[in-house]
Amino acid sequence: MKIIIHGGFFSESNQSHEVKVAKQDSLKAIAKKSYDFLQNNSAFDTVAYAVSLLEDDDLYNAGIGSQIQSDGIIRMSAAIMDGETQKMSGVINIQNVKNPIFVAKELMKEDDRVLGGNGAKKYANENGFGDFSTEIPQRRKEYEEKLKTGGKGTVGAVALDKHGKLAVATSTGGKGFEIPGRISDSATVAGNYANQFCAVSCTGVGEDIVSNATSAKIVTRVTDGLTIENAFDRTFEELKEIDGFAGAIGIDSEGNVFHQDSYPTMVFASFDGVDFEVFG
């Protein structure tokens, strides 16, 4: 059993040592909680749980504390994919829900599994997800400052359970001050993809990740016989051709865990029940 999670990027030049330590501690705690949850639950349920914990922590740009778009409104996107069934469900630009990932998970039972905007919100309300403002005090001022330094962030989780099943989930609050209606990579197969061989979640600039088809490429290459390390390396070499800004985490069916970024440092943590690896 393995779990790896990510929480966007960290820059020494515009974030303090205290923020770095806070994110390290947070990611380590969430990875441990998620691994404990994985003991008695599927990879599919676990990645949703892990991402919900990341959404609930205002250190990250997902759920509570999400970025604000150019018209002053928070719109969030999230997706989940089951490697065994190869089905993905998601929400795009949903407003005023606490955990977009749980709405995405709820949609897995539907024939129409990816909903956007007002339709996603209506579905959430009809299925017991109440109204919840994810904006926290001072967020507008904070994100105006972050925008000047180009901060980017998304959260995600990949898990391998005791039955050898893989799953992935990804959630984002956007890039901040974007044109309303802009769609990120997080609820697409470019940013969130899994099958029986590999599962990958991305963070970074959504347009670059979509242009590179990052998650889908890595998973397909592992499926076709490349090692997970080689699949990551080849895909990130192609990302360089467009000067793409991205990070990715993944696990293959053999339990190999891998992560890579094009512009350090992606914040991540992994745990296998014995050893932690946390960004430094």
Under the banding of pLDDT at 50, 70 and 90, the label for residue 150 is very low
Global pTM? 0.95
206 is in an annotated binding site: yes
Parallel/antiparallel/unpaired status of strands 2-9 and 266-271: antiparallel
Map out the domains of the chain as residue ranges: 2-70+77-87+135-278
Q: Hey, what CATH topology would domain 2-70+77-87+135-278 get? A: Glutamine Phosphoribosylpyrophosphate, subunit 1, domain 1 (3.60.20)
Average pLDDT over residues 60-78: 92
Active site residue 154: yes
Considering the chain, what percentage of its residues have pLDDT values greater than 70? 93
What does the pLDDT average to over 166-188? 94
Point out the catalytic residue in the list 46, 85, 134, 154. 154
Q: pLDDT tens digit string along 208-218?
A: 999 999 999 99
Binding residue per annotation — 46? no
Indicate if the pLDDT at residue 147 is higher than 80: no
- The reply to whether 205 sits in an annotated binding site is yes
φ, ψ (nearest 5 deg) of residue 78: -160, 155
151 pLDDT band, cuts 50/70/90, is very low
Q: How far is CA 14 from CA 147, 204, 214, 265, 280, in A?
A: 11, 17, 27, 12, 16
